[in-house]
Structure 1
Amino acid sequence: MGNPNSLSPTNTATPLTSSLLNVQPHTPAQKRALSYANTIKSLFDEVLSRKLPADRILANYFREHKKHGSKDRKIIRESLFSLFRWWGWLKQQHASQPTAFFAHLSACALLEAHPWQDIANAWHELSQSDRDYQQAQSLNVDDLKGKLALIQQLFPATTCKAEDLLPDWFWQVCPLEPAKQNRLIAAMSSRPPIWGRAQGISSQTAAAQLQALGIDATAGHYFDDAINLGSKSMNLNEIDLYKTGKIEIQDLASQVIGQICAPEPHALWWDTCSGAGGKTLQLRALMLAHAVANSRPASGHIIASDIRSNALEELLKRAQRAQCDGISIARWTSDALPVPTDHFDGVLVDAPCSCTGTWRRNPDMRWLDDIQAVSSKAALQLDILSRSSRAVKLGGQLVYATCSLSPIENEDVVRAFLAQHREFALEPVRHPFTGEETDMLTIWPFEANSDGMFVAKMYRSR
């Protein structure tokens, strides 16, 4: 389920100050760079002041300001997210200086090798830095060590560490051994690819059709239906495979959950916190694929529930687009179960969580949240898991998942549940990327270039 606010509508337009950065440009490139910088700073400040997701603020802005072409939109979007990605280092610089924001923008362009180097060089000029931009541009920034060296050259008065790229409180709720910590920081400082699933079509066929459209798609990543769509932005509504439901966008780590559930074609499942239905659709697609592979009818059914009616409406639209039957909805309207007890072969609880596993895609959230984003949810998660478990029939499965990386929301919740519900026991699962068998599984972003995810599978023995 993740963050329940991610689908909340907002009609608030982004106000822009005409001259947030009061400097005098001297060249056409500086004039353009100043215009971009003013827009990006307004958006950046609004995200921090309103504590709303950057992607939502950005979507509102582009909806209200249709004058921007695709290049403008890309410069604004990528620069904004880069600022948040590297904010752990940049915030240590002399932000009180009027020209500091230009230095931050030019540093981001160098750290991520953005193609608009003319604009980045103009930002560097406007920053009035005495650093040699061409020399900085020649540094190798292919890894985190090289990026740190670049920052130290651009801002020699401060000392930065790799762990600064994640907030201090994160390490309190997600303690890691040094080797794994370094790999996590490197992953969190890079952009993940767009992952998708093929539905009713082979991933190889889907990838070939997408490649013909100039999309860097490749198939065969860990799961038969998984597709890597590369990192370039795309308009999904212009892609026939998406419009006809033949592909769904779903991160690879999220796809692990459905694979762990492994629903039988005849099974009855309940997705208790379905959101807009990514995992509901995956469960049904797996049922159908299993049925075809074994020449059996897909007589199973999935009931999807959520507290948000708009999310369930979106789920039904997606199911209709994919021509996917066997799905119905039952909205949560009170603490009472919206479905029968002792009834389901499988129950999936994708619980609301801090979403720390998705920080690669949402780098702003690491600076908008605080430690309470993790520490405050365990009681709710345990309550949802406990209530939902009543719907599992004898011999049925109960799967608990979050997109959090913290044991507080993951292993601790499962252990507390098992201590209170002796009728359930853990069922070992196999890590799809390493082959390791484990009682509870955390997917780390560095293992397969994905988001982070947690899953535990239990069965009802009595």
Structure 2
Amino acid sequence: MGNPTSLSQPTTHDTSSAMGLNVDTHTPSQKRALSYANTIKQLFDDIFSSKQPADRVLANYFREHKKHGSKDRKVIRESLFSLFRWWGWFKKLEDNQISSFFAKLSAAALIEAHPWQDIAKAWHELAQLSTDFEALQSLDVDSLDGKLALAQKLFPSALFALEDLLPNWFWDVCPIAPERKAQLIEAMVSRPPIWGRAQGISSQSAVTQLQQLGIDASAGHYFDDALSLGSKSINLNEISLYKDGKIEIQDLASQVIGQTCAPKPADNWWDTCSGAGGKTLQLRSLMQIEAKSQKVKLSGSIISSDIRSHALEELTKRASRAKFDGIQVARWKSDALPVPSKHFDGVLVDAPCSCTGTWRRNPDMRWLDSVEAVTDKAALQLDILSRSSQAVKPAGTLVYATCSLSPIENEDVVKAFLQQHSEFSLVPVKHPFTGEQTEMLTVWPFEANSDGMFVARMQRKL
């Protein structure tokens, strides 16, 4: 491994040291562990100070510090995200001494059974913890209860609970049945798998080609075009299937949205908040699949809109890579519709939201955000949904979706919309993972090892 260095401008979120972690080291492992710890601490502090997403801060850091090898990057990345996953417990610890940060790093490595146990042991030694490291290593951490027992044994003076692993305000705005709470917590503190879709190629053909590259790929159980790509990082730029637009990375829960839209080959759809176009590409791919199945011409089209021109430029590149025609962009430039009214067979509103459903991918956000991330968006969401609904033609479909788990952003917005727009009514949908029929669908992360998602389908009356 290389010798990681700390950021040039440390911040002071952690009170252990404003100028880095300065302790005496006595072994090569301790020296490397100290260097890693300084880098991770400064990244951690910078994320809390700037309120910028951890993946963005980390990407910028690696871009500026190219000397780190792949092993170094993995230790830094995984240790950093582990701190955020277990921060609900770690933030309860005394933070007034340098040893505290080493203890947290060692605890995270033990809880998640990271392979760099020599570094974890060195962190344990630098923390001057009295608990025997080898004894802690022997504990079973396969279950969430096992992880809790290890943390409690390591820090006996603290009092931990499973609910602490998500912020207190989350439980107020994202209620869940008590018997499902542990399942949600376990999903939220586990690293999510990588999901993808096959485009213009069968999922089995994609799986075969990906497996030949050593990727842990398999066909998804729920959708014909879904791909499970395992949990290991993948360099997409080295995969010809990706470069040729034959596969796209898209979480399984996100794929539920396109499946709920169920576009027909001759439909005209509007993706109102398209971003870089993941849902647009899925809609077009589903149109192609349906046209091939029905042996009919693909005559429909999609218009994609967003307020960000750079996102639409990325969408255009992705559509070109996939060799998709029938896709146009129309940027939102004002409150006025950028498309004709009462024109579309289907309108998808994938609204801006708190993204609580994606917290397992972004564990830092649960600690960077506050309850206002949920409570301050409903008015905007209702406004976007109401304005976008004007583009739905009689008997057309309107789909509202978020990656939030809160009724405030989901059911409450749909109910408010329906109260104001009697020309629309709910269309019941089938839960793709449980088979249940429901008026509005919330996908929980533990149901199919995915993100969390909400989707509601409505129809405009004739």
TM-score, length basis structure 2: 0.96
Counterpart for residue 446 of structure 1: 446
Q: Distance in 1 between matches of 2:393 and 2:144?
A: 49
Q: Distance in 1 between matches of 2:181 and 2:407?
A: 15
Counterpart for residue 65 of structure 1: 65
Counterpart for residue 231 of structure 1: 231
Contact 2:246–2:322 (CA<8 Å) still a contact in 1? yes
Counterpart for residue 15 of structure 1: 8
Deviation at 1:174, TM superposition (A): 1.0
1:219-298 map, 5 Å = 219-298=219-298
Q: Distance in 1 between matches of 2:121 and 2:136?
A: 11
Q: Distance in 2 between matches of 1:14 and 1:224?
A: 46
Contact 1:39–1:76 (CA<8 Å) still a contact in 2? yes
Counterpart for residue 391 of structure 2: 391
**1:307-326, Cα deviation, whole Å (9 max, x unpaired):** 00110011001111111111
Counterpart for residue 345 of structure 1: 345
Q: Give the letter aligned to residue 360 of structure 2.
A: R
Query: SS in structure 1 opposite 2:98?
Result: coil
Q: Distance in 1 between matches of 2:118 and 2:7?
A: 27
Contact 1:14–1:60 (CA<8 Å) still a contact in 2? no
Deviation at 1:168, TM superposition (A): 0.4
Counterpart for residue 94 of structure 1: 94
Q: Give the letter aligned to residue 369 of structure 2.
A: D
Counterpart for residue 15 of structure 2: none
Q: Give the letter aligned to residue 15 of structure 1.
A: S
Query: SS in structure 1 opposite 2:94?
Result: coil
**1:259-304, Cα deviation, whole Å (9 max, x unpaired):** 0000000000000000000000000000001101111111110000
Query: SS in structure 2 opposite 1:113?
Result: coil
Deviation at 1:211, TM superposition (A): 1.0
Deviation at 1:205, TM superposition (A): 1.1
Q: Give the letter aligned to residue 162 of structure 1.
A: L
Deviation at 1:358, TM superposition (A): 0.2
Query: SS in structure 1 opposite 2:394?
Result: strand
Q: Distance in 2 between matches of 1:297 and 1:398?
A: 24
Counterpart for residue 8 of structure 1: none
1:152-171 map, 5 Å = 152-171=152-171
Alignment length (residue pairs):
450
Q: Alpha carbons of 1:14 and 1:29: their partners in 2 closer, same or farther (altered >3 Å)?
A: closer
Instruction: Work out whether 1:136 is the aligned partner of 2:136.
Output: yes
Deviation at 1:220, TM superposition (A): 3.0
**1:326-364, Cα deviation, whole Å (9 max, x unpaired):** 110000000000000000000000000000000000000
Deviation at 1:16, TM superposition (A): 5.0
Q: Distance in 1 between matches of 2:72 and 2:457?
A: 46
Q: Distance in 2 between matches of 1:41 and 1:210?
A: 37
Counterpart for residue 455 of structure 2: 455
Deviation at 1:19, TM superposition (A): 5.8
Instruction: Work out whether 1:418 is the aligned partner of 2:411.
Output: no
Q: Distance in 2 between matches of 1:14 and 1:340?
A: 51
Counterpart for residue 3 of structure 1: none
Percent identity of paired positions between Structure 1 and Structure 2: 73
Alpha-carbon RMSD across the aligned residues, in angstroms, is 1.1
Long gaps (5+) in structure 1: 1-12
Contact 2:252–2:450 (CA<8 Å) still a contact in 1? yes
**1:390-442, Cα deviation, whole Å (9 max, x unpaired):** 00000000000000000000000000000000000000000000000000000
Q: Alpha carbons of 1:64 and 1:293: their partners in 2 closer, same or farther (altered >3 Å)?
A: same
Long gaps (5+) in structure 2: 1-5, 11-17
Contact 2:192–2:360 (CA<8 Å) still a contact in 1? yes
Contact 2:355–2:403 (CA<8 Å) still a contact in 1? yes
Q: Distance in 2 between matches of 1:109 and 1:115?
A: 8
Q: Distance in 2 between matches of 1:220 and 1:371?
A: 35
Counterpart for residue 368 of structure 2: 368
Counterpart for residue 331 of structure 1: 331
Q: Distance in 2 between matches of 1:103 and 1:204?
A: 46
Q: Distance in 1 between matches of 2:97 and 2:160?
A: 19
Contact 2:7–2:39 (CA<8 Å) still a contact in 1? no
